[in-house]
Chains A and B, each alone.
Chain A
Amino acid sequence: MPLDLDPEIFRAIVSTIVPEASAMDEKGWRDLDRVVEALLRDRPESLKRQLRMFLRFIQWLPLVRYCRPFTSLNFAARTRVLAHLQNDPIQKVRVGFWGLRTIVLAGYYAREEAAQAIGYAASPRGWEAAR
């Protein structure tokens, strides 16, 4: 798991941001983890610490409204929690969510399998490959 992120929380967030991720097999998750790991490797330690804290914040935030942690919520409730963060009146919270969302989207869509699944097939051979 990248940077000791709690796998249960991280995967619950990934599957809420990209619903198709819930259908990924173990290899898919390993590939996603590898992309995220590579993306964060050279980032400052403070940023990695903030990310770990933000994940914990997301896990426990729903206790206030749902009396359950994020990982125990259904998909619709998880979506509402993340939408709340995305629209939070505090800019720093929105930016934090945007950063997390970016990491998740990189992990999912930078994989070869995801590109194939969405029909993206750019080739260095360009027109020659397309025709």
Chain B
Amino acid sequence: MKKLAYDIVIVGSGAGGGTIAQELSPLCRQGARIAVLEKGPRLRDEEFTGRELEMSAALYEDGGGFLTADGTMTLAFGSAYGGSTAVYTGTSMLPPERIIRHWNVPGLTHADLECRARKFMAENNVHLVEDEFINENNKLFLEGCRRLDYDVQQFPVNIKGCRGSSLCNLGCPNQAKQGTDRVQLPRAEQNGVEVVTRCQVLRIADRTLAVRVAAKPPGAKGDPSPWEPGDYQIEAKIVVLCAGAVSTPALLLRSGMGETLPRLGHGFTAHPAFIMVAEHDRPITNFVGHPKSYYLDQFAQSDRFVLETCMYFPFVTAKSLAGFGAPHSAFMRAFPRLQMILVLGCDEVDPDNRIAIDGGGRPVVDYRFTPETIRGLIRGAIASAKIFFAAGAMRVHMPVAKNTTIEARDAGDLEQIAAGAEFKPGKTPVSAAHLQGGCAMGSAPSDSVTDCYGHVHGIPWLYVADASLFPNSLEINPYLTIMALADRVAQRIKEDVRTLL
């Protein structure tokens, strides 16, 4: 086993890890040795082809097919240089004041988070897409919402030089999204931070990490790891965990920290979501242009759902439509005429929903859909159908309706359809990409895993800086909030550095 020593080791390179790496990188000029250990590969620009299965296999954990323990929900999270910022759509939302107040974390204020989030908005070129580059899939959502007098909003996005490939979730083939893979990590590397890809952290103990570097599989995308394949023992004076809401709690659990941190793994939320699809009588621009321009969150509090425009690829779309056979095929054959809406449920922390590990130390996500979450998803489906029909759709596919195809002539019966709707785990196709919680911030081990600066209770050298810090659901796209929290963690580490290094 090879042995190496660093001052600071950051585990994960997504919104949290990339931010920490950039913010701490000036310490390299003072002689500090900093490494980012990333489990996934680093792809070359020309390897982003936009081909569905090959990009999913290269950029997502389990190729995008990571399932909850009972197999009823797919969790999509990145495993690559840049983490999930390599595969998100770049929607950049400020943390909502209502939510941060509801989190009620002593020492954490909305004003502080917003101020930090705005710094990253400027850094990542966050802006509203000009009207001429918004496609019909998005404009029809806007039109439908306006006809219904809904309070529709435009997403700020972090793109630069976007050509409108619509392939954001497969890694932008034009390097337009300003994720940590394009902004923060390259800056950190310029300042002297080492980024080690294909490097999985197996366990952490007292200022020591056991890691395994994998060889590049034959035919796989991406560069080989800068380190030789094999097992390493790494000494680090400070460790910052940014592996995400599934992998960070799992790493701490398999490192035996569950006993001293009883809340570890608890408080997992995910914004469970499904896709609603509608067919228009004419082709619309849908697989060209940025896929996510508008959202509707006015029902987040009252009905527990948020709607977002979206556009997916053939296999993901096919998988997301309920059922099979002729009705399923009919929607797939109508692809150029399809409008899509993503329905996200605003789930709350539930005692049954948590991250655990199996006998081999691999993460296991226990998740059950609470009646409130199911109600939210059904209400979201009905609101989506109303929007589709208000925008002129001929028919709608509703995964929770008994008869999944609803014709325009039945648009008046939507409330009756809602009353008879059925949400069957294992049948209703549900996925989630906003994974949160598991190492919640709070004041003591009895209610949390870290303090409000991501400092793990009772372990002076260990910090967390990713979405696992969220004590409850954020109810919006999370990456800017993760960056803002990571910025706070970086500030605390800079303050602590003299004592710890």
Co-complex (A, B): yes
Instruction: List chain A positions with a Cβ less than 8 A from chain B.
Output: 16-20, 35, 38-39, 79, 82, 86-87, 91-95, 97-99, 101-102, 105-106, 108-110, 114-115, 117-130
* Contacts A95-B70, A109-B314 given; does A122 touch B325 at CB 8 Å: no
Docked-complex contact B426 and A91, CB < 8 angstroms: yes
Q: B320's closest neighbor in chain A, by CB? A: A105
Q: Is the interface of A mostly helix, strand, loop or mixed?
A: helix
Residues B324 and A18 in contact, CB atoms below 8 Å apart: yes
| 18 residue pairs A–B, Cβ–Cβ below 8 Å | A86-B324, A91-B425, A98-B427, A102-B319, A105-B319, A109-B318, A110-B314, A119-B335, A120-B335, A122-B50, A122-B165, A122-B288, A123-B288, A124-B50, A126-B165, A127-B133, A130-B285, A130-B288
Q: Is B63 among interface residues, defined by CB-CB distance under 8 A?
A: yes
A105 touches B50 (CB 8 A): no
Q: Do the beta carbons of B287 and A106 come within 8 Å of each other?
A: no
Selected from B162, B324, B335, the residue in CB contact (under 8 A) with A17 is B324
* B319 partner, pick from A91, A106, A119, A126, beta carbons under 8 A: A106
Q: Considering the chains assembled together, what is the distance between the CA atoms of A26 and B325 in angstroms?
A: 21
**Interface: B424 (CB within 8 A):** yes
Pair A86/B323 contact, Cβ less than 8 Å: yes
Q: Is B351 engaged at the interface, CB distance under 8 Å to the other chain?
A: no
Give the top 7 A-B pairs by smallest Cβ distance, nearest first: A94-B426, A126-B164, A124-B173, A126-B163, A95-B71, A122-B287, A109-B314
Map CB proximity to A onto B173-185 as digits: 1 under 8 Å, 0 otherwise: 1100000000000
Cross-interface CB contact of A86 among B49, B283, B336, B427, cutoff 8 Å: B427
A80 to chain B, nearest CB (A): 10
Cβ of B333 within 8 Å of any chain A Cβ, yes or no, is: yes
With beta carbons under 8 angstroms apart, the residue of B288, B335, B427 that contacts A129 is B288
A20 to B325, CA, bound (A): 9
Q: A18-B324, A98-B429 given as contacts; is B329 within 8 A of A122 (CB)?
A: no
With an 8 A cutoff between CB atoms, is B166 at the interface? yes
- In angstroms, how far is the closest chain B Cβ from the Cβ of A114? 6
> Are B324 and A101 touching (Cβ within 8 A)?
yes
For the complex, give the distance between the alpha carbons of A121 and B65 in Å: 24
Q: Is A123's CB under 8 angstroms from B315's CB?
A: no
